[in-house]
Amino acid sequence: MNETALQAVAVHKRYRLGRQEIPVLRGVDLAVARGETVALLGASGAGKSTLLHVLGLLDAPSAGEIRFDGRRVDDLPVRERAALRHRHVGFVFQFYHLIPELTALQNVLLAQMMAISPLAYWRVRKQARADAEAMLERVGLQDRLRHRPTELSGGERQRVAIARALMASPQALLADEPTGNLDSHTAAGVCELLFDIQRQRGLALLLVTHDEGLARRCHRTVRMKDGVVER
């Protein structure tokens, strides 16, 4: 658990609203090591989701640095940042964000297709399909491969989202209130799955949540207030 997978160093993030600049993150330092689970707690508007997005290279910091495996990555060109995002980080969101036109299997396979040409995919298509099926089996959806998101329950959708996030074998998993849209029973099942996979794969897991109980299951809890990590 010593190797740092993700790190934010003195990260600031400001948004411009007309002429006004609104600071959202104000000098945040945070490191998540491989195999470590970190819960990020805080009131709405504290900057949790913004920090998650900045850490996952979905958004650029206004100041400060983002490091993957100790290497600064926030200043890389767009294309390289996208490739790193694909290889290094998996995202799980509160609202699943599955593509409604695709079946569960296709949603998971899509992650395989992101960084590969049609020709290259054609060569590995059978293996990719087998991997996606195995991943869905791992999250307990072996019987729901050909179901569209609208035909799945909330818990099942989140399981598909988890399978999709893990498909590119990332080193870090960033989950933004993954159980926020689920009932407590379903949420417990999804959490169990998430922690189980994290342990199995030795992933760095950063979990944004309002749920104190869920936070207690993590190795570490970080609280944010007004864009600053509370000490």
Partner 1 sequence: MYRLFLALRYLLTRPINVLGMAGITISVWALVVVVSLFSGFLQVVESHVHAASADVVVGDLPAWSDWRKVEAALRDDPNVAGVAPRLLHFGILSRPGHRPPTPPLPGRSALHGGDQPFLFVQGVEPVAETEVTGFAGWLADPAIPSELRCESAPLAPAAAGPTVLVGLDRMRRDGLRRGDRVLLTTAQLRGDGKGGKTPVKVQLDLVVGGAFKTAHSGFDGNTVFVAASLLRTAMFPDQPDWAPEAAVRVRDAATLDATAERLQRAVIAVVERDGHGFGTAQTWRQRNAQFLESIAHQRGLMQLVLVIIMVVAAFLMLATLSMMVTEKVSDIGILTAMGGTPRGVASVFLACGIVITGCGVVAGLALGVVTGVYLEEVRRAVRWTTGIDLFPIDVYNLDRVPCAIEPMWLAQVAGMALAVGILVSFLPAWRAARHDPLVSLRGL
Nearer to partner 1, 102 or 228 (CB): 102
Which of 19, 20, 101, 150 touches partner 1 (CB under 8 A)? 101
With the CA atoms of 93, 100, 118 and 88 taken in that order, what torsion angle do they form, in degrees rounded to the nearest 10? 0
DSSP assignment of 66-102, as one string? Answer: EEETTEE-TTS-HHHHHHHHHHHEEEEETT----TTS
If one asks whether residue 83 binds partner 1 (CB under 8 A), the answer comes out as yes
Nearer to partner 1, 68 or 91 (CB): 91
| Shortest CB 212 distance to partner 1, Å | 23
In this structure, what token pair is assigned to residue 168?
Answer: 């590119």
If one asks whether residue 76 binds partner 1 (CB under 8 A), the answer comes out as no
Q: Near partner 1 by CB under 8 A, which window of 22-30, 54-62, 136-144, 192-200?
A: 54-62
Nearer to partner 1, 1 or 130 (CB): 130
Distance CA 37, CA 28 (A): 18
**Who's near 24: CB < 8 A, 6+ residues apart?**
13, 14, 15, 47, 50, 227
Geometric angle at alpha carbon 7, from 44 and 23, rounded to 5° = 40
| Shortest CB 16 distance to partner 1, Å | 13
In this structure, what token pair is assigned to residue 131?
Answer: 């991997």
If one asks whether residue 150 binds partner 1 (CB under 8 A), the answer comes out as no
Which of 4, 62, 106, 186 touches partner 1 (CB under 8 A)? 106
| Shortest CB 136 distance to partner 1, Å | 16
| Shortest CB 19 distance to partner 1, Å | 20
CB atoms within 10 A of CB 50: 21
**Who's near 32: CB < 8 A, 6+ residues apart?**
4, 5, 6, 7, 38, 172, 204, 205, 206
In this structure, what token pair is assigned to residue 98?
Answer: 């599955």
Q: Near partner 1 by CB under 8 A, which window of 21-29, 68-76, 94-102, 134-142?
A: 94-102
Q: Which residues bind partner 1 (CB under 8 A)?
A: 49, 53, 56, 58-59, 78-79, 82-83, 85-87, 91, 93, 95, 97-99, 101-102, 106, 110-111, 113-118, 120-121, 164, 168, 176
